[in-house]
Structure 1
């Protein structure tokens, strides 16, 4: 017996608008899946709220003297930590699609080659926005107040989502390199936990040992947390925002080409 291989059909050139439609459709597919897997939305909702409540009422009095003062300091840091963990869902979902053959099926369709990956990232950005809005809403119920009004809030949202898009390329790279979705989560806990806890996301830098402060000051989590504090509460804005954008450019420049190359090899 001889195997019969279907001839490859040359890919048609697609207009950019068609690629955008395909991206939106695949992003909607990822969002609709939440209806069948509500635990995914719970992970983006319950866990962040738990962090806010536990950190505020367990550590608030010991670190800042009162839960209210600590909430003002820590909420931007909790938002940053949650954003880093949320980027791992991109790698997890991408790896799941790869291992289950979803990408192979999509490649047989007359759609833009970049649409499946772009759709995944777009959908996870929407989930990220939901999680941030939830954290700020819960924080305001607990007593958090915006120091720079709606404009500062919008700027903080834009900065955080922009940085998250850059950081998502790290998750994409991990997602295409590992052979199981669970390994993406292992990477997240192994790398992100130390990264966030060796920053000023939860405690002031000056309370740490001198040798650790040198790292904390250049840690991208610290810089992004300072930028969000400046935009949401008040304080220095220009320097941390510029440094955050610089970190985003560097991360995207390094990991985006590696992730795309890894995805092409995986496919």
Structure 2
């Protein structure tokens, strides 16, 4: 069977293990169902996820012009402490920024390799943790806007990393820690305006299982522009990565906006 379309991040469904779907305009692939099968991936071109034009992808699935102009990729996306919609101040598009920033956000701890602190919209729990390949996660605080979440993350960055070691994550080299105990010790470290939200936040520890038959011991990343045609046996899915028998790993998120043909 053959599927052709524009790569976008895999959609997920909460199961044990997580269910993964690669969706195209007129079709989709249940990735879990093709484990242990041979897959061929061919790079065909580009299609910007914002404007839809066949322009080279710059970052996050956007062409250069869209990346520089779209409110969906403003600096506050990566640095939530830069959010200003709560002050009525526009970055690129105040209507868009208000919709995204002025809604409940979660500051959390997750373990995908080491203990990481992060921020996500409440509506993206647990999707955000799954996309990062976290094996377990716990909420620290739920706050009413992105700015408060951002300053909380900044206050905790000296204690925890804000990045995932993707190689350790894919090799299942995960730090064994008690997240609930770590969370309980954090209240005094939070900004004053955030502390009232600590006690009311759900503190349930979430464990996440992934459909992996075999973790790689040595890793090599598939670069579609250097290797426009790749073929291998799929052995697992974790985060937004496909894991192959020969140690090749393919980060779907990195290649959003790339047009591919997939043969099964």
Q: Name which structure has the greater RCO, CA cutoff 8 Å, separation 6+.
A: 2
More strand per residue: 2
Structure 2 length-normalised TM: 0.23
Q: Which has the larger radius of gyration?
A: 1
